[in-house]
Structure 1
Amino acid sequence: MDHRKKLIHTTNMPIRWGDMDAYGHVNNTVYFRYMEQARVEWIEDMKVMVRPGGDGPVIVNAACTFLKPMNYPGTVEVRTYVGAVGRSSCQTYVDMLIDGELYAEGAAKVVWMNTQSGKSVPLPDHVRALLEAE
């Protein structure tokens, strides 16, 4: 993990009964949904609406390391961090905790792009300022 990462957003999400699979634990795909929801909340907190059209954030890769199985009932604390910030992108990292204990770690590279052309565009100035603030 990037040692320069900075905490940028924290949210809590309930584990739903339907999040579990036949093995009785949260299905691996749901961890990506938890990360997605946290990412959307963080982006909207920066006053960027996650909607089609114009310029906006997309992810170009996503990863998750499953350390311990999650089970219903429970609440997942999802902590999002930012690492390296580039011209049009930033690297994000996620910790998923239950009762302060780490259950999974994730990452995703977020790229700003023009949704019409499919080409990357520079990060908006206000987003860059928030990401680079100490």
Structure 2
Amino acid sequence: MSRTLPTRDAFGFWHAISTRWSDHDRLDHVNNARYFSFDEDARLGYFQDLWRDDPQFWKQYGFILARLGCDFVSQLRHPATVDVGFRVTRLGGASMETESLMLDGDTVVAVTQGVIVWFDYAEQKPMPIPESVRASIRAREPVAPTEK
């Protein structure tokens, strides 16, 4: 892998996930498909404060996943607790770029990069990210996201 890996201190949100017996495969490591679920769990946890007290969230507006990629760095074996750091690295007009750092202790096992889009479910189209959402993201990030 030629790119520089993110470090723990770049993330203000962490989510611990225990692997399950069913996560490992015939090669005796956690299957690659599980890392996308780890990212999803962390992503939903990161944004939980936005939707927990808003009955319109997930009904009229919210976000959708547009892209998710993963760099597999080290093998992970069950049982393990994966620490998943999640952050927003860029705020655009209607989209956000995200990154997750997945650790087994101090060992990086994977890094995901995603794009999520703020979405109007009734109109079925992207909409501008509300300023309240932008402010919430800025407040929790130790490394400020770049902005459009």
Please give the range of the TM-score, normalised by the shorter of the 2 chains: 0.7 to 0.9
Letter in 2 for 1:92: T
2:77 aligns with one of 71, 74, 77: 71
Which residue of 2 is the match for residue 59 of structure 1?
A: 65
Q: State how far apart, in whole Å, the 2-side matches of 1:95 and 1:121 are.
A: 28
**Change beyond 3 A, Cα 1:95–1:59:** same
Amino acid across the alignment from 1:82: V
Q: Specify the alignment match of 2:45 in structure 1.
A: 41
Question: What is residue 30 of structure 2 aligned with on the other side?
Answer: 26
Quote how far apart the aligned CAs of 1:27 are: 0.8
Structure-2 change in CA distance of 1:8 and 1:117 (3 Å): farther
What secondary structure, in the 3-state scheme, does the structure 2 residue paired with 1:23 have?
coil
C-alpha distance in structure 2 between counterparts of 1:8 and 1:58, whole Å: 22
Instruction: Give the structure-1-normalised TM-score.
Output: 0.88
The answer to whether structure 1 residue 120 and structure 2 residue 126 are counterparts is yes
The verdict on how the C-alpha distance between 1:94 and 1:54 changes in structure 2, with shifts beyond 3 A counting, is same
Query: Could you state the TM-score of these two structures normalised by the residue count of structure 2?
Result: 0.80
Q: Distance in 2 between matches of 1:24 and 1:131?
A: 38
Deviations 1:47-90 (A, max 9, x none): 22596420111110000011111111110000012111111111
**Where in structure 1 are there 5+ consecutive unaligned residues?**
none
Q: CA deviation at 1:113?
A: 0.5
User: Within 5 A, what are the aligned runs for 1:72-87?
Assistant: 72-87=78-93
The number of residues matched between the two structures is 131
Deviations for 1:23-60, whole angstroms, at most 9, x for unmatched residues?
11111110000000100011113x22596420111110
Runs of 4+ in 1 over 6 A off after TM superposition: none
Give the share of equivalent positions with the same residue, in percent: 28
Secondary structure, aligned partner of 1:11: strand
Compared with structure 1, are the counterparts of its residues 51 and 129 closer, same or farther at alpha carbon in structure 2 (3 Å cutoff)?
closer
For residues 8 and 59 of structure 1, do their structure 2 counterparts lie closer, same or farther at Cα, with a shift above 3 Å needed? farther
CA distance in 2, matches of 1:99, 1:8: 17
Q: What's the secondary structure of 1:131's corresponding residue?
A: helix
After TM superposition, list the pairs within 5 Å mapping 1:94-109 onto structure 2: 94-109=100-115
